[in-house]
């Protein structure tokens, strides 16, 4: 059966709940992973999601900053959240989909919001950048992010690194800009390789094709400038890689009224 899993840094779920509803009604994902919800769990718009048919919710949120959530049309077996870098800053949530969702074999789904890292790519003067590097190191070392050989797992979210040359509008000009510096790209690659994760977006859309999921608010005309970055990712374990039939980037949502600077990315799995 097809299973549609979407990921979206929504940059405030309450502010943009109407935009989320529009996407849900159009794309009909089975599971939607959100980042930067900026919402404590007791204020999350549960009733709205339930009216939209998404009755199963896993939350890890806080007031004003960060926050992740997974909303689903199908039930979970269980959910959990991990902390990184000794902080309780709500950057991870995971669920397990199994028999209750109609699956013969379980799938573990991780939803991440990696720190953005600030503006200055120097950990000596920018604690936010140091935090980002430490977070990526902890992802690499985390035993729970190393699926077993036959385990079915998927990791999605705003990883805040555009690792490849054609994941940014200008490789040369971006080398000293946070999100595409060599040290960030190396650490993200090591985190992915440590878990033997597969970057499915680039399997289905290989370089040199440009591939973006984020466009800055600073551009007067984001579409004309098209200075994007691929900050949002879909990784799978080897056991799931052959079952991803399609990944779509819903670029038009960047042009919505009061948009997020990220757009939805949706993977279709044949499970």
Using an 8 Å Cβ cutoff, are 68 and 112 in contact?
yes
pTM (global) more than 0.75: yes
Q: How far is CA 168 from the centre of its chain?
A: 17
H or E element that contains 21: helix 17-27
H or E element that contains 126: none
Tell me, what's the pLDDT at 220?
87
Q: How far is CA 70 from the centre of its chain?
A: 11
Per-run averaged pLDDT (10 residues), the chain, 271 residues: 96 98 98 98 98 98 96 98 97 98 97 98 98 98 96 98 98 98 98 98 98 95 96 98 98 97 98 93
Return left, alpha or beta for 28; rule: phi > 0 is left, psi -120 to 50 is alpha, else beta: left
Q: How far apart are CA 12 and CA 260, in angstroms?
A: 8
Query: Could you please report the per-residue DSSP string of 168-188?
Result: BS-HHHHTTSTTS-HHHHHHH
Tell me, what's the pLDDT at 1?
86
Fold of 2-270: Deoxyribonuclease I; Chain A (3.60.10)
Q: How far apart are CA 258 and CA 106, in angstroms?
A: 37
Cβ-based neighbours of 256, under 8 Å, separated by 6 or more: 19, 22
């Amino acid at each position: 059966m097809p299973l549609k899993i979407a990921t979206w840094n929504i940059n405030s779920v309450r502010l943009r709940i109407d935009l989320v509803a529009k996407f849900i009604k159009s794309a009909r994902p089975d599971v939607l992973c959100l980042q930067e919800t900026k919402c404590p769990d007791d204020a999350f718009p549960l009733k709205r999601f339930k009216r939209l048919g998404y009755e199963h919710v896993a939350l890890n949120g806080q007031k004003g900053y960060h926050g992740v959530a997974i909303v689903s049309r199908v039930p979970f077996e269980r959910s959990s959240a991990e902390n990184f870098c000794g902080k309780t800053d709500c950057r991870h949530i995971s669920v397990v989909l199994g028999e209750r969702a109609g699956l013969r074999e379980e799938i573990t789904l991780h939803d991440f919001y990696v720190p953005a890292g600030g503006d200055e790519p120097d950990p000596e003067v920018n604690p936010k950048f140091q935090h980002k590097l430490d977070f990526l190191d902890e992802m690499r070392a985390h035993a729970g992010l190393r699926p077993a050989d036959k385990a079915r797992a998927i990791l999605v979210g705003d990883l805040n690194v555009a690792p490849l040359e054609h994941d940014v509008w200008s490789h040369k000009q971006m080398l000293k800009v946070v999100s595409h510096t060599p040290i960030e790209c190396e650490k993200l690659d090591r985190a992915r390789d440590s878990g033997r994760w597969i970057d499915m977006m680039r399997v289905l859309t290989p370089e040199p094709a440009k591939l973006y999921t984020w466009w800055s608010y600073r551009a007067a005309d984001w579409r004309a400038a098209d200075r994007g970055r691929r900050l949002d990712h879909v990784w799978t374990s080897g056991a799931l890689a052959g079952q991803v039939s399609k990944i779509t980037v819903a670029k038009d949502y960047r042009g919505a009224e009061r948009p997020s600077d990220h757009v939805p990315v949706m993977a279709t799995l044949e499970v």
